[in-house]
Amino acid sequence: MNNCDNLTLTHLKHVYTQGRATPRELILGLREKALQSKDYNAWVTLLTPEQLEPYFKALESQSPDTLPLYGVPFAIKDNIDLAGITTTAGCEAFRHTAQQSAHVVARFIAAGAVPLGKTNLDQFATGLVGTRSPYGQGKNVFNRDYISGGSSAGSAIATALGQVTFALGTDTAGSGRVPAALNNLIGHKPTKGLLSCTGVVPACKTLDCVSLFTLNAHDAASLFDIAAHFDADDAFARPNRFDNRQRYFSGKAPTTFTFGVPNQTEFFGNTECEALFKKSITLLESLGGQAITFDMAPFIEAAKLLYEGPWVAERYLATQSVALDTMLPEIQTIIGNGNNGRASDAFSAQYRLAELKRRCDKILASVDIAIAPTTPTVFTRAEIDAEPIKNNSILGTYTNFMNLLDYTATAVPIGSLSSGVHWGITLFHQAFSDIKLLNFAQALQEKTQLPCGANLPFSPSLEQAPTTGLPLPMQEAALTDIVVCGAHLEGQPLNWQLAERGGQLKSQTTSSAHYALYALPDGKRPAMIRVEKDGCEIEVEVWSVPTHHLGSFITQIPAPLGIGKVELASGEWISGFICDAYAISAAQNISEYKGWRNWLKNRP
């Protein structure tokens, strides 16, 4: 077996566990597939078989059950570093060999994924078209006369053509969403800061995001969970929230929900895109949604600030090491204007953005999600060549405001045009709504039943891929101490409920000598009961949990357990797990073991 038509995470796991292929066989076959489709201009660098061999060797001592991304092929936009491979950012004068992999790339490799190579892009990630590259214009996978979209052109093409399971892009102004829409993919632009930008060539450093291209939203949720790992070396990194993890991915929309629809939409004469947008509203209504119209004006005004405001100066700062005359003409024009503003202009724009964000946030607070066209229309490559700046700007009509306003966004396919090119909408909401949006995205995919990518089989399996389960770092917050004695102890099955809320182990100690310990009938939970005599000290741990997450933790505690005051051996009384006395009538007294762990280890 040299390759397969279904490269989704769930299917690949089955392929490997059933012994139908090895990573070496499958990925070398995909490399040949990529070479045969080189006229799409998806790749800047394909790893050689010799360069791929260390990745295959590393997997030989592992198995699909031990690594969540065992043998999963992926592509890396060529402004993201891969150790030992050159990074060009789409400019030969910038080419250099990366000494180490970007943080997010390293995360995926550690999880078992194998990089197939580096993909083509609009130079310095400046563009939404995929044609601004010295390595050839990216071509749409459905109609080569049309643009692939950019700047993450190659990443979208490689994923849509079934050469990789997923691809990394970047998304500052829409670069992870426009190519997804035009090539029939999920394009997820995460909350700013959740995917590290260490090892990523900056475009606008305060706005940049690493994005994900996948065949379905299920895969995007699994990959997001692995990649959203706090990186202290990234000055703009943010820790994720406990409720924005794959654990909360269901692939379903709520039974009833509200969704915002812009009161004004411009399609620049493209009636087919307009019809598909109306179809998307109908689809969401059929899922149980109620459409609520909102004022699009403040969002559009915010979008214009990106290129008409001072943020262009960030692109100038990011490329100072490269001579302007080594860049493509359109890039020279855009970046060359980035050093012409005044400091007062920057502050003035920030003040206006803050005002607009307050208005936009109020709108989003009134709906569960909002939608907009990903692009208002589509263009041929000839049309972009004729009007490179104007038509590129049109493509960003509904994408440019997202990062300025600190929103999360997911591009979802809706249908195809008469040209064969695909089109879709973007779901968006406030920061840390990644999993919520991906749930809606998967529900829409289930509803449309579109083939994935370039007519690959629709395979939305919701079998949960294993994740790394890494605890999140503490967020600065008021803390509350909680005493735990059973399944929430470190290393026990429910400890994640504390860790994912930012909880940290404060101490390992014992209760006072006034407690008895029982194993509840299910054998999975203990009950610690205060007694007046014949008690003993019970092993406990004290965990510090951010107070603002405490309510959601307590609501997950099932009867007969609850939270009350527990006396420690030190004499201190701290909130912790207690049990209603009625429950012990059918429970087993295990006090002699003096702790839940010891009972689990030695129970009959």
The helix (run of H) or strand (run of E) holding residue 221 is helix 217-227
**AA identity, residue 205:** K
Omega before residue 560 within 30° of 0, cis: yes
Distance CA 125, CA 155 (A): 12
Q: Which residues pair with 37 in a beta bridge?
A: none
- Summarize pLDDT for 477-525 with one digit per residue, the tens: 478 999 999 999 999 999 999 998 989 999 999 999 999 999 999 889 9
Structure tokens at 482: 């909680």
Structure tokens at 137: 């214009």
Q: 309-313: long-range contacts (C-beta < 8 A, 24 or more apart)?
A: 309/345, 309/349, 310/341, 310/345, 310/346, 310/349, 311/204, 311/206, 311/207, 311/349, 311/404, 312/337, 312/338, 312/341, 313/338, 313/339, 313/341, 313/346
**AA identity, residue 27:** I
Q: What is the pTM of this model?
A: 0.84
Whether 321 is catalytic is no
Distance CA 176, CA 363 (A): 24
Measured between its terminal Cα atoms, the distance across the chain in Å is 49
Q: Say what angle helices 271-286 and 434-448 make with each other, to 10 degrees.
A: 100
The DSSP call for residue 257 is: E
Strands (E), 78-136: 86-87, 96-97, 114-119
Choose the catalytic residue: 133, 148, 151, 211.
151
Q: Which residues pair with 536 in a beta bridge?
A: 515
Distance CA 596, CA 527 (A): 10
Alpha helices, DSSP H, located in 309-433? 312-318, 329-336, 343-365, 381-386, 388-395, 401-404
pLDDT at position 472 is 34
Whether 436 is catalytic is no
Choose the catalytic residue: 13, 77, 118, 139.
77
Instruction: Tell which residue, 100, 5, 16, 14, has the closest CA to residue 451.
Output: 5
Choose the catalytic residue: 175, 211, 511, 591.
175
Domains of the chain: 9-448 (3.90.1300.10), 479-602 (3.10.490.10)
Backbone angles phi, psi at 352, to 5 degrees: -65, -40
Whether 461 is catalytic is no
Distance CA 69, CA 295 (A): 42
Instruction: Tell which residue, 97, 69, 103, 104, has the closest CA to residue 83.
Output: 97
Low-confidence ranges of the chain (pLDDT < 70): 1-4, 457-477
